[in-house]
Chains A and B, each alone.
Chain A
Amino acid sequence: GAVVSQHPSWVICKSGTSVKIECRSLDFQATTMFWYRQFPKQSLMLMATSNEGSKATYEQGVEKDKFLINHASLTLSTLTVTSAHPEDSSFYICSAVLAGDTEAFFGQGTRLTVV
């Protein structure tokens, strides 16, 4: 089956620094990738839709200047949390959609802790 890999699986960073999370589709090309955020004991909330070669579409309330998304190739999207603060600590999950397909394949998630 289709595999989506996130890196790193977990990261601890200091407040004020930036952190980059990668989402790769390992065995298929994904024209669209999605980034979700999940706080403890809560559901997944969509942050943004990432389309290869174009600007990401952000959901209401998500700061595009704080959460930078780059989808430079059909197999890689990156999320950069800029000037991270403790309230940004969360589980970040990406999903990728095979071009022309309807099923989304999820990565294993990245646990971000900002201290």
Chain B
Amino acid sequence: GQQLNQSPQSMFIQEGEDVSMNCTSSSIFNTWLWYKQDPGEGPVLLIALYKAGELTSNGRLTAQFGITRKDSFLNISASIPSDVGIYFCAGQEGYGGATNKLIFGTGTLLAVQP
């Protein structure tokens, strides 16, 4: 199945550091989303982006929808231990109904050392 290219694959950082990860696609998406998944759980939505060029913040998280609609990045500022988990980007082609299917990125494993 189709997957989005996400980098880096993993990051090991110190508490307080900023983190940046990005996602690229060969095709255009109308919506970009970023999720966090804890072990043994389903993904939880962090940020949704609906317009090319859009920059959106949610607390310490900032994400941008690329102008070309083929990429997005997520920044986490001042990381804390509870930021540990796997982060996934996801692209969505449509706006409603069956077209809401998500194509997920390959994931970024984040480890934060206190």
Contact = CB atoms under 8 A, between A and B. Distances in A.
Nearest to A102: B95
A44 B90 CA distance: 10
B42 A32 contact: no
Contacts, number: 65
A93 interface: yes
B96 A44 contact: no
Given A49-B98, A61-B1, A101-B96, A106 B42 contact: yes
Contact of B98 (A43, A45, A57, A100): A57
B103 A111 contact: no
Contacts of B43: 44, 93, 106
Contacts of A4: 42
A104 B104 contact: no
- Tell me what chain A mostly uses at the interface: helix, strand, loop, or mixed: strand
A42 B95 CA distance: 26
Given A43-B104, A46-B102, A102-B100, A108 B95 contact: no
B101 A49 contact: yes
A93 B88 CA distance: 14
Contacts of B100: 32, 34, 97, 102, 104
A31 interface: yes
Interface of A: 4, 6, 31-32, 34, 36, 42-46, 49, 51, 57, 59-61, 91, 93, 95, 97, 100-104, 106-109, 111
What 3 pairs across the A-B complex have the smallest Cβ distances?
A106-B42, A44-B104, A43-B104
Interface of B: 1, 3, 31, 40-45, 48, 88, 92, 95-98, 100-107
